[in-house]
Amino acid sequence: MSYERDNIRSLDAYTPGEQPDRGDVIKLNTNENPYPPCEAVMRAIGQVPADALRRYPSPQAGRFRQIAAQVHGLSPQQVIATNGGDELLRLAISVFCNVEGEPSKRTGIGVTEPTYSLYPVLASIHNTPVTSIPLNADYSIPDSFAKDMVSSEVGLVLVVNPHAPSGRLEPVEKLLAIAETLRGHAVLLVDEAYVDFAEIDALPLLDEKHELDNVILLRTMSKGYSLAGLRFGYGLGHANLIAALDKARDSYNTNALSQAAAAAALEHRDAAATSWQAVIGERQRMGDALMSRRFMVQPSQTNFILVTPPAIAGGQRLSDADAAADLYQFLKAANILVRYFDHEGLRDKLRITIGTPQQNDALLQAIDDWLTAGR
Amino acid sequence: MSYERDNIRSLDAYTPGEQPDRGDVIKLNTNENPYPPCEAVMRAIGQVPADALRRYPSPQAGRFRQIAAQVHGLSPQQVIATNGGDELLRLAISVFCNVEGEPSKRTGIGVTEPTYSLYPVLASIHNTPVTSIPLNADYSIPDSFAKDMVSSEVGLVLVVNPHAPSGRLEPVEKLLAIAETLRGHAVLLVDEAYVDFAEIDALPLLDEKHELDNVILLRTMSKGYSLAGLRFGYGLGHANLIAALDKARDSYNTNALSQAAAAAALEHRDAAATSWQAVIGERQRMGDALMSRRFMVQPSQTNFILVTPPAIAGGQRLSDADAAADLYQFLKAANILVRYFDHEGLRDKLRITIGTPQQNDALLQAIDDWLTAGR
């Protein structure tokens, strides 16, 4: 006897990247920041009094909301704090997309192909369909994207920018054009999980002069602020959209500790910015080093790079796809985890998180071993 | 232009009890434990290393799950950790109840009337209907309850036991009979948020000899463990049900800090048990004291009491409902918050959380003032 809904029964759950317990593994597979969170964050956690744990937390993370509004030049009503960026994604899908069978229009999400692999899983959990449009060969968004989404009558369009897993950054003008085409038809959520490592962000979309009532930006403390373990993200957008999301979230969706830590992290973002510069520098170095080893390297504005290994290793010719899978396994045996996607268009590639200089050197050494060693 | 689904647009969001920032308020309105969490919990939080925040947390709260399984004599596959009990409720509704318009049977939740006021709000967010059956006058569950729920073809029955807002505890035999009638038709979730203050729990329902594949128990660290600010709850139940819930939760739904604190709290539950005994003692004292003041007091197995104030205050005769609303306002003006429900069958009553002896004395003093003062 199964009691769950059909869509849950048939669901292939999302597979997060491996999270080994062992300390001797070099983890370059889940895009964590290689540097620890700043001292001020640890102090803020240590200073949360027992009484703040005894009582219910601020339902809307009031203090964090104030700080985020100030940092981004918005009003608090344009900010929602969530239990990781994941919760914001789930909320947006459940609030803006009708379920299959519901009478109204605006069913389903619209995404690019490829995109962050969690989106279609969240759509399945909500039992809403996915409209997927292939990116151009250079991972840019096709010009017809927004119009096609309007035709498909989706409720929510999810665009990760900078893009995962390619690392490509679309210019604000392009996002603006997409939002304008979608206005009156669908909400556009720009997932800026990696924005701290990019040259520009999508905040100009929220400028009142554009009169966009259908834009939400997703931010997370996981990557830029070295706080993946904290589960804290937030959304920025039109106050009406934020209010709708706010109605649907769990009553107390973030906790007293994560609120205090996230507030401290945002207040001390200069400390985090030091890590962004270090990662950007290493990203350049690693790209150059891998290109000199005959890897194809996709230009990246994130803390990872998508690379295509050369199809020759240890003097042996492999198919393109075999080379990536082979290198993935080779690195894993050497205690270095990177991300391999068994997914069309990605089977010849690896996504590699930028680590510390020492971790990156170890990776290059292991790659050199793979390139030269007989297998 | 509204982009949200119709059910969200028309939703009356859940109103949590007031959470004033001011420290001089005696808060007896949201059933928090009046005693702080134990030292071991605070130590565990302080010992979470920066690197555990930098990395993603254990997706299933592995260590906590092990400890909870051991404490309750179950397997880890029978335990799911959630971001507060609220998340478990939301998950159960979204996993076991079809949305209006979906073709399959098993749509909607079944609840008693009255019950925890969050349940119907969560059902509305999911856009699934509510079947509600009135409790008997003594807040016991009618004998026909489970059969009526089977006829209504609900997917999930939510029973809070001990009951909120009355405090009444149903015996295990009654829950067992309900679960057996529902088996093959619907899942029974027994919300044991207040179980730490009760004489018995519903764990015997999970005994294999009953062969119940449709039972989930909800536990929370918010009340018994003085950790409402931590947002940590968990579900216990048949491994198939837990697996279904697990597929639908956010990938990393609890954070590194809350996992560490919750594990420490459960490991040191003897410390928490001291607070349970103190609360139970004060509950008895407060019940007696209020009965001696001509209040009607519902017997309680929780950390609150539901009371009906006498309809005479300050020498003036009030209607029953006016008396409760009047006392609520009187107490609020005296910086004491209790809970008033503007809800059929409850308008003549107040729900009062059991506080420390000092807080309870202050409440009694204020009530005496209300009873005697001219208004």
d(CA B50, CA B245): 30
d(CA B307, CA B301): 14
**pLDDT confidence of residue B237:** 98
Q: Please, are residues B32 and A215 in contact by the beta-carbon 8 Å criterion?
A: no
pLDDT digits (tens, 9 = 90+) for B47-89: 999 999 999 999 999 999 999 999 999 999 999 999 999 999 9
**pLDDT confidence of residue B106:** 81
B252 and A84: CB-CB below 8 Å? yes
Q: With beta carbons under 8 A apart, name residues in chain B contacting A54.
A: 32-33, 35-37, 226-229
Residue B32: pLDDT above 90? yes
A102 and B52: CB-CB below 8 Å? no
Q: With beta carbons under 8 A apart, name residues in chain B contacting A36.
A: 50-51, 53-54
Average pLDDT over residues B337-358: 95
What is the ipTM score, two decimals? 0.96
**pLDDT confidence of residue B101:** 83
Q: Is B88 left (phi over 0), alpha (psi -120 to 50) or beta?
A: alpha
Distance from CA of B4 to the nearest CA of A (A): 5
Q: How confident is the model at residue B17 (pLDDT cuts 50, 70, 90)?
A: confident
> What contacts B88, CB < 8 A, 6 or more positions away?
B80, B82, B189, B216, B218, B233, B234, B235, B245
**pLDDT confidence of residue A15:** 79
In A93-186, which ranges are E strands? 109-113, 130-134, 156-160
Q: With beta carbons under 8 A apart, name residues in chain B contacting A101.
A: 99, 101-103
pLDDT digits (tens, 9 = 90+) for A191-230: 999 999 999 999 999 999 999 999 999 999 999 999 999 9
Instruction: Say whether the peptide bond before residue B114 is cis (omega within 30 degrees of 0).
Output: yes
Please name the residues between 4 and 43 in chain B that touch chain A, using a CB distance below 8 Å: 4-6, 8-9, 11, 13-14, 16-17, 19, 27, 30, 32-33, 35-37, 41-42
d(CA A323, CA B319): 82
Q: Is A239 on the interface with B (CB under 8 A)?
A: no
pLDDT digits (tens, 9 = 90+) for A67-94: 999 999 999 999 999 999 999 999 999 9
Please name the residues between 95 and 114 in chain B that touch chain A, using a CB distance below 8 Å: 95-104, 106
B104 and A6: CB-CB below 8 Å? yes
pLDDT digits (tens, 9 = 90+) for A98-128: 998 887 778 899 999 999 999 999 999 999 9
Q: Is B278 on the interface with A (CB under 8 A)?
A: no
Q: What percent of chain B has pLDDT over 70?
A: 99
Distance from CA of B369 to the nearest CA of A (A): 28
**pLDDT confidence of residue B374:** 57
Average pLDDT over residues A320-328: 91
A251 and B118: CB-CB below 8 Å? yes
> Which helix (H) or strand (E) is A313 found in, with range?
strand A312-313
Q: Is A120 on the interface with B (CB under 8 A)?
A: no
Q: With beta carbons under 8 A apart, name residues in chain A contacting B46.
A: 45-46
**pLDDT confidence of residue B305:** 98
Q: With beta carbons under 8 A apart, name residues in chain B contacting A184.
A: 1
Residue appearing with tokens 């927004």: A146
> Which helix (H) or strand (E) is A6 found in, with range?
helix A6-9
d(CA B279, CA B28): 13
d(CA A358, CA B247): 37
B53 and A100: CB-CB below 8 Å? no
Q: Is A117 on the interface with B (CB under 8 A)?
A: no
Interface with chain B: mutation pick from A250, A259, A339, highest number of B CBs within 10 Å: A250
Residue B273: pLDDT above 80? yes
A37 and B52: CB-CB below 8 Å? no
Query: Helix, strand or coil for residue B37?
Result: coil
Q: How confident is the model at residue A319 (pLDDT cuts 50, 70, 90)?
A: confident
> Bridge-partner residues for B353, per DSSP?
B304
B56 and A228: CB-CB below 8 Å? yes
> Bridge-partner residues for B156, per DSSP?
B109, B187
Please name the residues between 128 and 187 in chain A that touch chain B, using a CB distance below 8 Å: 155, 183-184, 186-187
pLDDT digits (tens, 9 = 90+) for B77-88: 999 999 999 999
A53 and B32: CB-CB below 8 Å? no
Residue B94: pLDDT above 60? yes
d(CA B172, CA B176): 6
Which residue in the set A45, A86, A255 is minimally distant from B230, CB to CB? Answer: A255
Chain mean pLDDT for chain A:
95
Distance from CA of B212 to the nearest CA of A (A): 11
Q: How confident is the model at residue B361 (pLDDT cuts 50, 70, 90)?
A: very high
Q: How confident is the model at residue B317 (pLDDT cuts 50, 70, 90)?
A: confident
Which residue in the set A16, A30, A244 is minimally distant from B8, CB to CB? Answer: A244
Count Cα neighbours of A286 within 13 Å in the Cβ-side half-sphere: 33
Q: With beta carbons under 8 A apart, name residues in chain B contacting A58.
A: 19
Helix, strand, coil percentages (3-state) for chain A, rounded to 5, are 45, 15, 40
Residue A375: pLDDT above 70? no
Helix ranges (DSSP H) in A33-138: 39-46, 50-54, 62-72, 84-96, 118-126
Q: Please, are residues B39 and B156 in contact by the beta-carbon 8 Å criterion?
A: no
Provide the 10 A C-beta neighbour count for residue B62.
Answer: 16
B53 and A226: CB-CB below 8 Å? yes
Residue appearing with tokens 């807002």: B165
Which residue in the set B8, B248, B253 is minimally distant from A125, CB to CB? Answer: B248
Domain ranges (residues) in chain A: 6-30+270-372, 39-267
Architecture of domain B39-267: 3-Layer(aba) Sandwich (3.40)
Write the DSSP string, A255-288.
-HHHHHHHHHHHHTHHHHHHHHHHHHHHHHHHHH
d(CA A123, CA A115): 13
Burial status of residue B200 (CB atoms within 10 A of its CB: 0-12, 13-18, 19 or more): middle
pLDDT digits (tens, 9 = 90+) for B119-178: 999 999 999 999 999 999 999 999 999 999 999 999 999 999 999 999 999 999 999 999
Q: With beta carbons under 8 A apart, name residues in chain B contacting A252.
A: 16, 84, 86, 228, 231
Nearest to B206 by CA among B190, B222, B224: B190
With 0.80 as the threshold, say if the pTM is over it: yes
Sign of CA dihedral A97, A99, A104, A106: positive
Average pLDDT over residues B170-196: 98
Q: Is B231 on the interface with A (CB under 8 A)?
A: yes
A11 and B247: CB-CB below 8 Å? yes
Write the DSSP string, B71-103.
HHT--GGGEEEESHHHHHHHHHHHHHSBPTT-S
**pLDDT confidence of residue A120:** 97
pLDDT digits (tens, 9 = 90+) for A4-25: 999 999 998 887 778 887 778 9
The residue ranking higher by pLDDT, B320 or B112, is: B112
CATH of domain A6-30+270-372: 3.90.1150.10
Give the Å distances, CA to CA, from B242 to A47, A131, B169, B193: 35, 30, 25, 18
Nearest CA in chain B to A51: B36
Average pLDDT over residues A137-149: 97
Q: What percent of chain A has pLDDT over 70?
A: 99
d(CA A354, CA A289): 13
* Kind of pairing between the strands at A233-237 and A215-220: antiparallel
**pLDDT confidence of residue A13:** 81
d(CA A364, CA A48): 42
Residue A267: pLDDT above 70? yes
Helix, strand, coil percentages (3-state) for chain B, rounded to 5, are 45, 15, 40
pLDDT digits (tens, 9 = 90+) for A159-202: 999 999 999 999 999 999 999 999 999 999 999 999 999 999 99
Which residue in the set B5, B50, B101 is minimally distant from A37, CB to CB? Answer: B50
Provide the 10 A C-beta neighbour count for residue A326.
Answer: 19
Chain mean pLDDT for chain B:
95
Q: How confident is the model at residue A374 (pLDDT cuts 50, 70, 90)?
A: low
Could you give the dihedral angle defined by the CA atoms of residues B33, B35, B40 and B46, in that order, rounded to the nearest 10 degrees? Answer: 90
